[in-house]
């Protein structure tokens, strides 16, 4: 199974969250169902607006750290280059 780094949003250009997982579909479901307390639950950040797949967790975590260090504008540009409508990509996983 592929590893993934993903970006969730509360709404277009809203609050962003970056995470990494070994099971993207399951993890996004957990965010959407508010099964875990924390940032995404508190700020209702549950729309999958961007993700990248990797063969191993090392590369996924490396990319996650890189994205977390980016300026907000860069993150928004990355999302809009790949998902200009800010669609929730979860249904197509």
Confidence of residue 1 (pLDDT cuts 50, 70, 90): low
pLDDT computed for residue 2 by the predictor? 84
In this predicted model, what pLDDT tens digit does every residue of 77-89 receive, in sequence order?
999 999 999 999 9
Contacts of residues 29-36 at CB distance under 8 Å and 24 or more positions apart, as own/partner, are: 29/90, 32/90
- In angstroms, the first-to-last Cα distance of the chain is 13
In this predicted model, what pLDDT tens digit does every residue of 35-71 receive, in sequence order?
988 999 999 999 999 999 999 999 999 999 999 999 9
> Could you tell me the strand order of the sheet in which 47-54 lies?
16-21, 3-9, 47-54
Q: Where are the domains of the chain?
A: 3-92
pLDDT computed for residue 51 by the predictor? 98
Q: What is the dihedral of CA 35, 44, 51, 70, to 10 degrees?
A: -120
Fold that domain 3-92 belongs to in CATH: GIY-YIG endonuclease (3.40.1440)
């Amino acid at each position: 199974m592929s590893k993934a780094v993903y970006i969730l949003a509360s709404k277009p250009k809203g609050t962003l969250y970056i995470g990494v997982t070994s099971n993207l579909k399951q993890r996004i479901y957990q965010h959407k169902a508010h099964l875990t307390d924390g940032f995404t639950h508190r700020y209702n950040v549950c729309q999958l607006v961007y993700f990248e797949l990797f063969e191993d967790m090392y590369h996924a975590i490396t990319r996650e750290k890189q994205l977390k260090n980016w300026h907000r504008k860069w993150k928004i540009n990355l999302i809009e280059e790949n998902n200009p409508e800010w669609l929730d990509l979860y249904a197509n996983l």
